[in-house]
Structure 1
Amino acid sequence: MASGQGAATPHGGHGMDEGVRRRDFLHIASGAFVAVGGAVAAWPFVQQMNPSADVLALSTIEVDLAPIEPGQAIKVKWQGKPVFVRNRTADELKAVDAVDVKSLRDPQSDDQRVKPEHKNWLVTMGVCTHLGCVPLGAAEGETRGEFGGYFCPCHGSHYDASGRIRKGPAPKNLEVPEYAFLSPTSIKIG
C-alpha cells in the first residue's frame, strides 16, 4: 500500500474521511429538517395574531364627497366611532383663519388641521375631547354652538368650524384622523 493514501474499505470508501463527511451531512440535514419543521409548526400561531379580514375591512372607509354641498356636513362611522366630514363655506374659512392661534386652549392653525389643496374640507372625529359625547353640528338643523362649528350638549363645549375648542370644558381640539384624497370628490379615512 502506498503511503499517504487511506486504506480502501470493504464498501469502496476511503476510511475516516468518508464517515466524517456522511456524519456532517446527516447532522446538517437533520438540523435543517428540524428548523423547517419548527417553522411549519409555528406558522399557524403567527398567522392567528394577524387581524382578521373583517377587522381589516373596517380599518379604512371611503367617503364620497360629491353630494355634500358647501356649508353641509355628514357623519360617517369608522372603527365604530363617528367622523364628521364638512364642506366649509368661504365665510367659514375666513372666520377660522382670522382667529389668533395663540389665544386658543389647544393652539393649532386651520392649515395644520386640513389638507392644503382641499382647505374647504374638514375631517374630524365626532367625539368630544372632554368625556366622549358626540357633538351636534353635523346634521341639518343641529346647533353649531357660538363659534359656528360643533356644540357638545353633554357639558357645553363649543368648537369652531375648524374643530378647535373655543369654550367649555373640553381640553383639546376634535381629533383629525388619518385621511387622504383619492380624487377631488373622494377620501379614504384610515
Structure 2
Amino acid sequence: MADEAIVNASGTDTPAVHDGSGGEDGVRRRDFINIAAVSFAGVGGLAVLVPLVSQMAPSADVLAESSTEIDISQIAPGQAIKAVFRKQPVFVRNLTPTEISEADKVPVSSLRDPQTLEERTKPGKTNWLITMGVCTHLGCVPLGAGEGEVKGEFGGYFCPCHGSVYDTAARIRKGPAPKNLEVPPYEFTSDTVVKIG
C-alpha cells in the first residue's frame, strides 16, 4: 500500500500516508501466524514420528531371547554342552588341562585365523570355551559337543557337511571354513552361571 497512490478530491495523485500503527500490527499478526503454523507442524511431525520409532523397538519375546543364562556347574572337565542363543546353537566346553596345553602348543602363525586360547576365553577362566555352534563355512552345526560325537583329528569339533575340522580351542585347522568358531559376547555372573549376550 505504501507504493499505491490515492486520488484526492482535486483529482491529483497523492501518495498514501500511514500512521505506522496498521503496518506494524499487520507484520506482528503475520509473524504470529507463521510461528504458530511452524509450531503446529513440528508438534504434528512429532506425533507421527514417536509411534513410528517406538514400533521399531524390539518386542518382549525378542528381548527375552537376546541373552541366555547357562548353569555350568554340571559340566565336567572334558565335556561340552549345546545350548541355544538367539535361535542358534552355542557350545559351552570345560577344557581339561591337557586340552589347554595342546591348544597353547600350536604356533599361532600357522593358523588360518590366528588367535590364542587366551584371546578366545576370559581371564582366569581359560578352561571355559564358549563358541557359537555354527560352522563358518556354510552354517552347518559341527559335531563334538555331544556325548560320543566325532571331534575330528584335532580333538575339537568336526563339521560333517564339508569336513571342516576345529581344534580344542575351536580354531579352524583343516577344511573349507575360513574362520574360527565365533565367540559370542558373554560374562560370568557367578562361578556356576554364564550369561551369553
Bin the TM-score by the shorter chain: 0.7 to 0.9
2:192 equivalent to 1:185: yes
* Aligned residue among 27, 49, 61 for 2:56: 49
> What is the identity, as a one-letter code, of the residue corresponding to 2:152?
G
> What is the identity, as a one-letter code, of the residue corresponding to 1:54?
D
2:109 equivalent to 1:97: no
2:81 equivalent to 1:74: yes
1:163-183 CA-to-partner distances (Å, cap 9, x unmatched) read: 011222322211111222222
Aligned pairs, how many? Answer: 180
Q: CA deviation at 1:113?
A: 1.0
TM-score by length of 1: 0.84
Question: Aligned with 1:145: secondary structure?
Answer: coil
Give the structure 2 partner of residue 11 of structure 1: none
Q: CA deviation at 1:18?
A: 5.0
RMSD (Å) for aligned C-alpha atoms:
2.2
Over the matched positions of the two proteins, sequence identity in percent amounts to: 63
Give the structure 2 partner of residue 111 of structure 1: 118
Q: CA deviation at 1:141?
A: 1.7
* Distance in 2 of aligned mates of 1:169 and 1:20: 76
* Distance in 2 of aligned mates of 1:41 and 1:105: 51
2:157 equivalent to 1:140: no
Question: Aligned with 1:116: secondary structure?
Answer: coil
* Aligned residue among 164, 173, 184 for 1:157: 164
Q: Which has the larger radius of gyration?
A: 2
Q: CA deviation at 1:69?
A: 1.6
> What is the identity, as a one-letter code, of the residue corresponding to 2:158?
F
After TM superposition, the structure 1 = structure 2 runs for residues 22-61 of structure 1, keeping only pairs within 5 Å, are 22-61=29-68
TM-score by length of 2: 0.81
